[in-house]
Amino acid sequence: MGPGALSFLLLLLLLVATGDADMKGHFDPAKCRYALGMQDRTIPDGDISASSSWSDSTAARHSRLESSDGDGAWCPAGPVFPKEEEYLQVDLRRLHLVALVGTQGRHAGGLGKEFSPSYRLRYSRDGHRWMDWRDRWGQEVILGNEDPGGVVLKDLGPPMVARLVRFYPRADRVMSVCLRVELYGCLWKDGLLSYMAPVGQTMYLSEAVHLNDSTYDGHTTHTVGGLQYGGLGQLADGVVGLDDFRKSQELRVWPGYDYVGWSNHSFPSGYVEMEFEFDRLRTFHAMQVHCNNMHTLGARLPGGVECRFKRGPAMAWEGEPVRHALGGSLGDPRARTVSVPLGGRVGRFLQCRFLFAGPWLLFSEISFISDVVNDSSLALGGTFAPAPWWPPGPPPTNFSSLELEPRGQQPVAKAEGSPTAILIGCLVAIILLLLLIIALMLWRLHWRKLLSKAERRVLEEELTVHLSVPGDTILINNRPGPREPPPYQEPRPRGNPPHSAPSVPNGSALLLSNPAYRLLLATYARPPRGPGPPTPAWAKPTNTQACSGDYMEPEKPGAPLLPPPPQNSVPHYAEADIVTLQGVTGGNTYAVPALPPGAAGDGPPRVDFPRSRLRFKEKLGEGQFGECVQGTPFTGSCQDPPARCHQECQE
């Protein structure tokens, strides 16, 4: 992969990192993952209850994660199949955003074998109305444990705002189940109990873009101009939308999932009206609204916002609203959070109208900056009765531990990473992998160049090997290219004194593994025979066979058949016959240099044997050097013993 591809990946990573949705003024659910007190016993035993228990040793108070109290877990009295009516309840005493749950079976030091393979969750904000938790695709069942000892964490998407949480264990057959649990999240500081808004609509582009509030946990009327009320949904889940509302930060969802939108044509009044209910009387400082501004597709910021307040459900709205003009920007198409100042007005209910500045209004998150009112005089002289907060029973007497947030524990790592984090992690991993591959390729290329240089050095440089054997010197010149074979010349007689070998140059040892070297070594490295007295011309050989391996001199003619070669005062370096060999690495040549004057010693003088007197007797074989035959000199009669045996390669 080239530098261009790497630059593109780095640019994509930068865009992803800088293109994260604006979280200004909104809580981040990824940072709201603290243990809420089951394992560390911050939640007292009295706030843990159950529909039933098998015995006192398996009561609800023994359902704390990683606890071995009693028999090691909560176990219901009856089977959970098929009715699924048994539950374990945890009271958090205050509204919390619960983003994660953990479950565990009954281990009991290895004696327990009970666990819940799946379960459902139900929650309540007021102790009266209970809601089923569903994921973003409408599924209620959560996969649980596969063994009694392991802890299984479930990331809740969307998170739930609740004070009471119930676990309903499930099974696909009649079996005993036991459960230990923990809740993870943080205190719900917004105090928002519910909001009421018109049902989101569908925008039809090249594809249908559904802008409905799909995770709303309240009531919905399905009449024309339907209404959602009594619950919370996507406008309070902490997930803000992207600049392009057709895309989403969540995986495997439909276009427009992050936004709730309304068309101007469906509201003749020119505004969308929403109401918000809070847990108690508050002083409101600002409202943060995350809006889409992709005006090329019709989405615009609100033209303005006006809000009214009231302190009780039976009271009238205050006469003078708080107004704030926004203008509906046409310049920057990016999504953004707009802040609406509320001037420190006091109330428990808000009614806000968002004015259209274009064809569509698209919101992904609405949050409030407020403080709880503790002065009872602000509640109109005590005439205001707050909404019921605690279920029947004594209210808590000590809130000191509940007000602390966090409680000292570190946030729990997410069991299922957010899509943005997963995407960034995948891109970083891909870039690191590509860099590693490129480094390996460069490393291989570097070594390939080094090896090719070494091979060319062996093939192209003139390397000479001199082998010194008794009476012979072998010269191997490993120079590529064809050579013409020189004429054949008889080797020197045996018995001559050894010839001193020239110095071997550096690098000659590189050819010792050459097959041609071993061939020449076998040919010329025969042990020498010592010099003997001259043999008379009339002497007969001791072996009279036709052609033996012993060497005998022929009859010496009266006059030399050929004139002796001229004697030079200075011998040549490689004055020798050169025979071309076809080796592994190309053309290999060897030569037997002529001896310098006086090197013949006491042996007989060198003579050349004429080819016309050589008679072929036996063909030895045929190879890449030609035909090899064994012959005897012709003496005129077949009965005469040979004077000498020769081997000759005829091309």
pLDDT tens profile 198-217:
999 999 999 999 999 999 99
Look up residue 609 and give its amino acid.
F
Tell me, what's the pLDDT at 328?
63
Looking at per-residue pLDDT, the higher value among 571 and 139 belongs to 139
pLDDT at residue 621 tops 50 = yes
Indicate whether 151 and 203 sit together in one domain: no
Indicate whether 42 and 171 sit together in one domain: yes
* Other CB atoms within 10 Å distance of the CB of residue 253: 16
Tell me, what's the pLDDT at 177?
93
Tell me, what's the pLDDT at 225?
77
Tell me, what's the pLDDT at 547?
37
Q: What percent of the chain has pLDDT over 90?
A: 45
Tell me, what's the pLDDT at 111?
82
DSSP 223: S
Look up tokens 């609800």; give the residue: 60
Tell me, what's the pLDDT at 6?
44
pLDDT tens digits for range 30-39 = 889 999 999 9
Tell me, what's the pLDDT at 574?
42
Q: Please state, rounded to an integer, the average pLDDT across all residues of the chain.
A: 74
Segments of 292-383 assigned E as strands = 304-310, 322-325, 336-355, 360-372
Tell me, what's the pLDDT at 48?
96
Indicate whether 321 and 235 sit together in one domain: yes
Total structural domains within the chain: 4
Indicate whether 178 and 87 sit together in one domain: yes
Residue 357 falls within a domain, yes or no? yes
Residue 492 falls within a domain, yes or no? no
C-alpha distance from residue 631 to each of 339, 505, 510 (Å): 115, 39, 37
Residue 352 falls within a domain, yes or no? yes
Phi and psi at 592, nearest 5°, equal: -110, 105
Residue 586 falls within a domain, yes or no? yes
Indicate whether 166 and 312 sit together in one domain: no
d(CA 130, CA 126): 9
Residue 293 falls within a domain, yes or no? yes
CB 177 within 8 A of CB 171: yes
Tell me, what's the pLDDT at 179?
95
Residue 247 falls within a domain, yes or no? yes
pLDDT at residue 44 tops 80 = yes
- Highest mean pLDDT range out of 18-32, 262-276, 412-426? 262-276
Residue 1 falls within a domain, yes or no? no
> Widest CA span of the chain, in angstroms?
158
Residue 112's pLDDT band, with cuts at 50, 70 and 90, is confident
For residue 643, what are the domain limits? 608-651
Indicate whether 274 and 296 sit together in one domain: yes
pLDDT tens digits for range 227-286 = 999 999 999 998 899 999 999 888 888 899 999 999 999 999 999 999 999 999 999 999
Tell me, what's the pLDDT at 459?
55
pLDDT tens digits for range 153-179 = 999 989 999 999 999 999 988 888 999
Residue 453 falls within a domain, yes or no? no
Please report, for the domain that includes residue 254, its CATH number: 2.60.120.1190
